Structure 1
Amino acid sequence: MVHNFMDKYGERLIAGGFSILPIAPGKKYPGAYQRGAWRPYKGWNKHAERATTLNELSIWRQWPDAGIGVACGNVAAIDIDVSDAIIAQQVEDLARERLGDTPAVRIGHAPKRLLVYRTAEPFSGIKQHPLEVLCLGQQFVAYAIHPDTGQPYHWPNASLVDQRVDDLPTISQQQTHDFVEEALNILPQEMRPNRLEKHRDSSTPILMDSHGVSHSGQQGTFEAVSDALRYIVNADLPYDDWVRIGMAIKGALGEAGAALFAEWSACAGKNNPATTTQSWSSFKPTIIGAGTLYHLAQQRGWQPEASITLNPVNVTPQGPHPAQGLLSRVQENAVADVPPSEEKLPFIDGPEWDPLDVDGVLGALVEHMISTATRPQPILAVGNALCALGALMGRRYRTETNLRSNLYIVGIADSGSGKNHSREVITELFMRTGHQSYLGGNRIASGAGLLRAVYEHPAILFQQDEFGMFLQAAADRRRSPRHITDILDLMTELYSSASTTFLGPEYAVKDKSGRKDINQPCLCVYGTTTPVLFWSALRSANVADGSLARFVMLKTRDDYPDPVGANVIRPIPDHLLQAVTAIANGGSSGGGNLSGVTATPETSVEPMIVPMEQGARTVFDELSCQVMSKLKTCRSTQWSSILARVWENASKIALVRGVSANPHAPLIRQEDAVWASALVGYAVNRLIEDVEQHLADNQTEQNHKRVLTIIRAAGRQGIPRNRLTRKTQFLNERERREIVQALLEGGQIVADVKPTRTQPGMVYKAA
């Protein structure tokens, strides 16, 4: 039986303020459906820091049998993992008395239960098995099939989809600490947390091996350690005890103990092989080792056989290592659980893009912008010119596949690099030709304001300065007001509605004019921003959910070109004014002054079809094949949405270039297709590079990327350790050491030793 929980409940949970994520079928952990199979969802805890987007939901709805988890942070959950019905009810009653009478109670495997609350502010969770408080960085399953019962999780009092986060009782970290301490006293002694003792009991005799040698030190033998572990039962021990045993195994056996630790960890119901492997690599024991393991095992009744040697100094190596067979079994079992290695970045292959290789109206407009600028910026001039012409030809021209000229382009350049000049030229151009109605305001204040502007003039251009600041507000669904976040959602919907009728939103209280439907809207947006503002505004979700993929990002090659003098005050040539007017008037077959201008569905809008010559078809066929190949290798990754828009954006840009060459008898030529494909390839490749280097969901990830960028900037010769220290003063010594170690283990950098006049020095290079 198929259970599409995401499709049934996802949208209602998001509306209630819950941050949701997909759960792998038959599991209790977040999953991602990649390359035809469910795999662990790496980095899922970013959903605790922001709201889930509807675009993410639309993707997850297509994943087979996806369950729904709720990321904790603005909510916390009291997990009562008690199998005694009477005691479980007593703990629940205490929670209601101390924390509040929540209606949100989830049952998975009765009588175990989970209670959901709202947090005053996010806090770290508490684990005192069988009681746990799930909060920041954790999640719980809300709707799925329970792996033990084979039945759906259920909410006996009130389903979570009928609740809102704001209506749940509010709790604080201190309240949960007090509750857990009090609840533990309700539990019988045998149910209380299974803690491993921290201190050696002086009454415990020192173990003697068959050679009469006492042993309480760090190193041990594989035979003795594995025998001792049989007495240290891993029945879902608390995390710090689990780490302690892992450290002791590594201290006793070194890397030879990895397989033993993996097999011992697998005895726990909550085992995650990937976490086990990652944690093992981070262990660096200096004191803890075999003595700890022998002591703990002895406390539980272990008495080693006389033939077992405790101390490795008494072992004469012969034959294969005793761990060889175990290691082979663990590696075989772990293959299916380890996520696939990272793929190469999916760069688009193609010719070098020359922004000045343009003709027609587009070429004349770009040339005028450059010739009148103090600091010429050809890439920014091209981006703004494409959007301006796209708005003027909106609802007048279309491709054979019914694509339109609506474009979203962002010019990225540093402060003081000449971002404003092209906007000034476009504003003057539209005013001089009588097309000022095509110009939207300098700032979009709300979603309703954007919708009103497009309704009043369905083909419209918005030129937005400080676009990074706008994105920062519009993409922050947790802190920004709804009227701001609506802007980005409406832009996404309008982008995909250019060839059809956009059906306006329904409101509880209708205004006099009712719902505003817009026939074939052509919204063009040209924004400029600095790199710092742009990347600080974004999170990985903006890449994955497709909202970023609709924008063509044009990054300048030189932020500070040599000035050519003061701005040249030169009137716009008459031939350019006439050509722009021809584009705005061309292609409409309807009659009357309002044809193709008003928004209502009754208006006759019949755009001219712009044919494509065979050479252009070949270029786009090759681009489509390349993109499809990369999409298959990047299925369900953050790159999917970006790659999926490559062909569409290239086709739209080729349409604008083709029409600008001849507005009366337009044709998409081979050179239009080549230039448009090269432009989009340039934009996508720069975007992928910058996402990999700059985009971070938290401070830790940001620090890793900053350090890697510094090392990459050093080039082939690398950067000495002392210089890296000077350039990373934003880190303390421990943070710097851990980041460098992580980059080395991840294969992103390599270390080399170079001789100096005094002593050898460490040099780091990008891999």
Structure 2
Amino acid sequence: MSAPPNFMADYGERLVDNGYPVIPIMPGSKVPGRYQSGQWLPYPDWARHCDRTTKPFEVDIWQRWPGCGVGIAAGAVVGIDIDVLDGALSIQLGELAAQMLGDTPCWRVGRAPKRLLVYRAESSFAGRKRHPLELLARGQQFVAYAIHPDTGQPYAWPESNLLDVPLDRLPAVDEASCLAFLDAAWGLIPDEIRVNSILAEAPSSTWHGPSDPKGTHEAIAAALAWLPNDDLPGNEWITVGAAIKAALGEEGRDLWLDWSRQSRKSGQSGRADTPERRWASLRPHSAGAGKIYWLAARRGWVPDPALTLNGTVAEQMAQQHPAAALLAKAEATPLPPAPEPKPYRVPAEVLEVDGALRLFLDYATRSAVSPQPFLALGAAICLVGAVAGRRYRTPTDLRSNVYAIGIADSGGGKDHARRCVKRALYAAGLDRYLGGEDLASSAGLLTSLQRHPARLFQVDEFGQFLKLVLAPRAPAHKAAIWAELTKLYTSAAEPYIGAEYADQKARPRVTIEQPCACLWGVTVPGPFWSALEGGALADGSMARFLVFLTEEDYPERNEAPAAMDPPLDLVAALQGIARGVPGHSHGGNLAEAMESSAPIHAYTVPLCPDAEVAMAAVRRDATELLRAHRGTYATALFGRYAENAAKLAMIAAVSRDPARPVTEARDVTWAAKLVEHCIGTLLQEAERRVADNDTEANHKRVLEIIRSAGTITRNVLVRKTQFLSKREREEIFEALVEGELVAKTIQRSATKPVVLFTFCKIPSDDTAGDPSA
């Protein structure tokens, strides 16, 4: 049995790009859900998505949940739900909405001719319900892409859909206009389908089927088979007869006669009250099809889903439907194909920085032959973090120590920003902040920080370094480097106390007061991602790193790069950060303040009131993400979300005004956006590349080769997979095709057929539902 379609994997990312707040929907339902520990559960806190945009890394997680549908959290989005089965009336109400609210290009059909019209709210407001009409607004949601639980078919968008129409292009509505529409539309609703009381929706009897007395011949016959006429009393015999006649009229006569003749008394009394005579005299009243269905259900009858129980519905189905054109259009309009994987894109707003960060970003970009602004930003953050080390702190005592990694392919310009950092520090007379470019041992790392406790270590080929220090059989002096980096990261606000050795004279204990170790590593993708297969994601050590993956390995060349000499305003800005806040004592004069044992009193960078509110929201988001993904490696990343955002926001404030820094709301927003992007990068790339065992690693490696090519011939793919045996290769090819991750086609040619493999989509089966899988 094939897996249910994963609509979140197909459409979630594009919907978020278009501005829609998406939420995960449990397969086969209309209910928001979460996939945890191999099963779907309701998502009780989904309504929080009504008040904020969806984060890219949330979609990266949800798209791995099997069969995940896509819902839209209302708030910025408004839905007009017309829950009417009368086709002509449904069309009339849709036209009224177009007149009063605007003609929206996006409307959705689940069970035709019911429809839902999608609008944009000028400002958020609460919804209303006047059954069968509903105004879906803040605090509510609707399903956009999923399998309808009643029809078993995907929801249809007969005209435009949300993938093609960004939120800001939908007609805008306000609360008053929507309520006016509800009033006008309610006046068109017939009394028999209005519901003015919540009690009116409750069943009036034990039968939960159709309330219409009319039934269908097939359904009544099926129910009577469960009602044996074993010499019933006369009154019960007559009750059933009246119900049959009410349900079918004269068409029920044969069923009545056949059922009556089951009795041994039939034709034996010699009386005139035969079934034929009684049928003519029956006068139906309150009992009808529902009575027969109820009696049969009490005896175990379960209606076949293919049966139509309601006679009125059956008559309507036999006629030309008033909404036949609408139905035909919905059926003829299949769901749009899943969008092609879009190029990796860095959010433009994360590059909108000022102060020293902006000065360095411009310097590194203009002087580069292959400009990489995102990598330059990562280097700039580490640079400012190191120079600001031990001088500034957040109100929660976080410091400016940052670990970051820049990733780009060979020849893509990843090393240029590293060279610019060195030149800028030398020009500013701050070269003492530079640590070694290779970490040979943990002892060497600590010795460097003893000499100057605020240091920036720039490590080339960081992926190879990771593979070396994280290898299961790594030399002890190499493996210890990773452990020391982890300890140093958490010791920035307190004394770092090293290991005790027996020979204190030869190996004295290392103590460093509030060390600020910043690290900027650059690497090509392959070695870095393969290094993570050792468990660095699961144990949380990689959660300390911000990952800057370039959006373009080979950008457009700058044919006239600027000079490599650092601009004077950048030099002055770095010197100002190194001086710190005028009049604030850091624990001694400028020289003494950078002694490893010097007492440190860092300046507390305050948050303005708006920044306090923004930072509180980030902390709430972090807590919610931790709760939602308890038990997976993703919690290690989310555990550092608020901490990294607070650090970066402070660095932004110091970059702008080192003499009197104040963290503003825009700093928090920028920092949170950047951290979200870095977390999303780890989640997205780890799903594609990181494996827990050799077999999974080989599958992902082959899939990545096909994904990078888009379409590749079998011969070329065989040459690129020589690391596999013939048997392994064939098994992997077959598994990828059977899993519908890769499509296999045969192209005819003049000589011999050519076998092609085409990448389809990311994995979305049950094994990918848990980020720890």
TM-score (norm 1): 0.50
Q: In structure 1, what is the Cα distance between the partners aligned to 2:434 and 2:757?
A: 55
Q: Which residue of the other structure, out of 725, 729, 754, is the alignment partner of 1:736?
A: 729
Distance 1:719 1:435, change over 3 A: closer
Which residue pairs with 1:397 in the alignment?
392
Which residue pairs with 1:125 in the alignment?
none
Q: Which residue of the other structure, out of 634, 638, 642, is the alignment partner of 1:647?
A: 642
Which residue pairs with 1:631 in the alignment?
626
Distance 1:508 1:378, change over 3 A: same
Q: In structure 2, what is the Cα distance between the partners aligned to 1:766 and 1:356?
A: 30
Distance 1:525 1:386, change over 3 A: same
Could you give the per-residue CA deviations for residues 212-254 of structure 1, whole angstroms, max 9, x where no partner exists? xxxxxxxxxxxxxxxxxxxxxxxxxxxxxxxxxxxxxxxxxxx
Q: Which residue of the other structure, out of 592, 606, 618, is the alignment partner of 1:611?
A: 606
Distance 1:726 1:533, change over 3 A: closer
Q: Which runs of 5+ in 2 are unaligned?
A: 1-34, 39-344, 763-773
- CA contact under 8 A between 1:466 and 1:530: conserved in structure 2? yes
Q: In structure 2, what is the Cα distance between the partners aligned to 1:730 and 1:426?
A: 39
Q: In structure 1, what is the Cα distance between the partners aligned to 2:565 and 2:744?
A: 60
Which residue pairs with 2:677 in the alignment?
682
Aligned-partner residue type, residue 656 of structure 1? I
SS at match of 2:577: helix
Task: Using the TM superposition, give the Cα deviation of residue 499 of structure 1 relative to its aligned residue in structure 2, in angstroms.
Answer: 0.8
- CA contact under 8 A between 1:411 and 1:527: conserved in structure 2? yes
Aligned residues: 418
Which residue pairs with 2:6 in the alignment?
none
User: Is 1:598 the counterpart of 2:595 in the alignment?
Assistant: yes
Which residue pairs with 1:749 in the alignment?
741
Q: In structure 1, what is the Cα distance between the partners aligned to 2:657 and 2:588?
A: 22
Q: In structure 2, what is the Cα distance between the partners aligned to 1:557 and 1:351?
A: 6
Aligned-partner residue type, residue 645 of structure 1? R
Q: Which runs of 5+ in 1 are unaligned?
A: 1-33, 38-349
Q: Which residue of the other structure, out of 350, 370, 377, is the alignment partner of 1:375?
A: 370
Which residue pairs with 2:26 in the alignment?
none
Task: Using the TM superposition, give the Cα deviation of residue 553 of structure 1 relative to its aligned residue in structure 2, in angstroms.
Answer: 0.9
Task: Using the TM superposition, give the Cα deviation of residue 707 of structure 1 relative to its aligned residue in structure 2, in angstroms.
Answer: 2.7
Task: Using the TM superposition, give the Cα deviation of residue 697 of structure 1 relative to its aligned residue in structure 2, in angstroms.
Answer: 4.5
What is the aligned-residue RMSD (CA, Å)? 3.2
- CA contact under 8 A between 1:711 and 1:766: conserved in structure 2? no
Q: In structure 2, what is the Cα distance between the partners aligned to 1:631 and 1:748?
A: 32
Aligned-partner residue type, residue 492 of structure 1? T
Q: In structure 2, what is the Cα distance between the partners aligned to 1:712 and 1:648?
A: 35
Task: Using the TM superposition, give the Cα deviation of residue 751 of structure 1 relative to its aligned residue in structure 2, in angstroms.
Answer: 5.6
Could you give the per-residue CA deviations for residues 649-681 of structure 1, whole angstroms, max 9, x where no partner exists? 122111111111111111111221121112112
Q: Which residue of the other structure, out of 425, 430, 442, is the alignment partner of 1:435?
A: 430
Q: Which residue of the other structure, out of 647, 658, 667, is the alignment partner of 2:662?
A: 667
Q: Which residue of the other structure, out of 402, 418, 421, is the alignment partner of 1:423?
A: 418
Aligned-partner residue type, residue 599 of structure 1? S
Which residue pairs with 2:528 in the alignment?
534
User: Is 1:521 the counterpart of 2:515 in the alignment?
Assistant: yes
Task: Using the TM superposition, give the Cα deviation of residue 559 of structure 1 relative to its aligned residue in structure 2, in angstroms.
Answer: 1.4
1:271-310 paired onto structure 2 within 5 Å = none
Task: Using the TM superposition, give the Cα deviation of residue 568 of structure 1 relative to its aligned residue in structure 2, in angstroms.
Answer: 3.2
- CA contact under 8 A between 1:583 and 1:660: conserved in structure 2? yes
Task: Using the TM superposition, give the Cα deviation of residue 626 of structure 1 relative to its aligned residue in structure 2, in angstroms.
Answer: 3.0
User: Is 1:511 the counterpart of 2:508 in the alignment?
Assistant: no
1:60-459 paired onto structure 2 within 5 Å = 352-459=347-454
SS at match of 1:734: helix
- CA contact under 8 A between 2:356 and 2:570: conserved in structure 1? yes
Could you give the per-residue CA deviations for residues 308-336 of structure 1, whole angstroms, max 9, x where no partner exists? xxxxxxxxxxxxxxxxxxxxxxxxxxxxx
Higher relative contact order (CA 8 A, sep 6+): 2
SS at match of 2:662: coil
Could you give the per-residue CA deviations for residues 526-585 of structure 1, whole angstroms, max 9, x where no partner exists? 111111221233324111111211111101111111221365325322222222111011
Which residue pairs with 1:217 in the alignment?
none
Q: In structure 1, what is the Cα distance between the partners aligned to 2:574 and 2:656?
A: 11
SS at match of 2:666: helix
Q: In structure 1, what is the Cα distance between the partners aligned to 2:745 and 2:363?
A: 55
1:560-575 paired onto structure 2 within 5 Å = 560-565=554-559, 567-575=561-569
- CA contact under 8 A between 2:737 and 2:744: conserved in structure 1? no
Q: In structure 2, what is the Cα distance between the partners aligned to 1:353 and 1:649?
A: 20
Which residue pairs with 1:553 in the alignment?
547
Q: In structure 2, what is the Cα distance between the partners aligned to 1:570 and 1:457?
A: 27
- CA contact under 8 A between 1:595 and 1:604: conserved in structure 2? no
Task: Using the TM superposition, give the Cα deviation of residue 354 of structure 1 relative to its aligned residue in structure 2, in angstroms.
Answer: 3.5
SS at match of 1:524: strand
Which residue pairs with 1:203 in the alignment?
none
Task: Using the TM superposition, give the Cα deviation of residue 363 of structure 1 relative to its aligned residue in structure 2, in angstroms.
Answer: 0.5
Task: Using the TM superposition, give the Cα deviation of residue 614 of structure 1 relative to its aligned residue in structure 2, in angstroms.
Answer: 3.1
Q: In structure 2, what is the Cα distance between the partners aligned to 1:635 and 1:667?
A: 35
Distance 1:572 1:719, change over 3 A: closer
- CA contact under 8 A between 1:467 and 1:529: conserved in structure 2? yes
Could you give the per-residue CA deviations for residues 564-614 of structure 1, whole angstroms, max 9, x where no partner exists? 1365325322222222111011135233344431112xx331111111123
Which residue pairs with 1:185 in the alignment?
none
Aligned-partner residue type, residue 648 of structure 2? I
Q: In structure 2, what is the Cα distance between the partners aligned to 1:451 and 1:496?
A: 15
SS at match of 1:409: strand
Distance 1:672 1:741, change over 3 A: same
Q: In structure 1, what is the Cα distance between the partners aligned to 2:443 and 2:645?
A: 30
SS at match of 2:542: coil
